[in-house]
């Protein structure tokens, strides 16, 4: 539930669109969490330990994607958000929101590591983690698609977007740096 790229994307989608767009983004995050849960159960951690280049690739590629999103958010900070009220202008926005959120979730190797560590710790019987992921982002979508938070965001959009772009970009750079450092250690060892 910590603010990161997923939180930024879901909140921005919820502010710019309708509540259904925000919920689509929450569904995308839940699907991404489900995919990582399945992969974790299948032994992703063991695979990444055995195949170091795959771990490096995932970190660098995921970091590059997050950096790209951060740059897009930063560059768009001065541009107003157009809130489409016309149904024809919003056609397909549900699926675009779901796809974007899913890609952000899958680009974040930290999510994969989280799921792998949770399954490794053998959680007691409880709702699957991907459901918790969906519920959290649904709460974010509902909050940011409401009138007061939307108005607060729109009033300070420039500063919030610059900060969000910088944070997401920094997370991307950090992942890429970690991947390249792991590659250097692998080549040196």
Segment 41-53, tens digit of pLDDT: 677 666 766 777 8
The band of 23, judged by pLDDT with boundaries at 50, 70 and 90, is very high
Segment 133-186, tens digit of pLDDT: 788 888 888 888 888 988 888 889 899 889 888 988 888 898 899 889 988 887
Closest CA to 64 of 188, 176, 180: 176
């Amino acid at each position: 539930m910590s603010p990161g790229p997923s939180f930024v994307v879901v909140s921005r989608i919820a502010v710019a669109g309708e509540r259904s767009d925000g919920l689509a983004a929450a569904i995308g995050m839940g699907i991404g969490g489900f995919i990582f849960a399945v992969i974790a159960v299948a032994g992703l951690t063991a695979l990444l330990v055995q195949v170091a280049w795959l771990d490096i690739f995932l970190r660098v590629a995921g970091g590059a994607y997050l950096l790209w999103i951060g740059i897009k958010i930063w560059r768009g900070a001065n541009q107003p958000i157009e809130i489409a009220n016309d149904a024809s202008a919003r056609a397909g926005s549900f699926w675009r929101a779901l796809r974007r959120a899913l890609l952000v979730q899958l680009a974040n190797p930290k999510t994969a590591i989280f799921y792998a560590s949770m399954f490794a710790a053998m959680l007691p019987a409880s709702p699957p983690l991907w459901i918790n992921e969906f519920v959290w982002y649904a709460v974010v979508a509902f909050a940011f698609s409401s009138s007061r938070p939307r108005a607060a965001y729109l009033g300070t959009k420039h500063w919030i977007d610059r900060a969000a772009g910088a944070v997401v970009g920094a997370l991307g750079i950090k992942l890429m740096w970690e991947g390249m450092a792991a590659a250097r250690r692998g080549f040196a060892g």
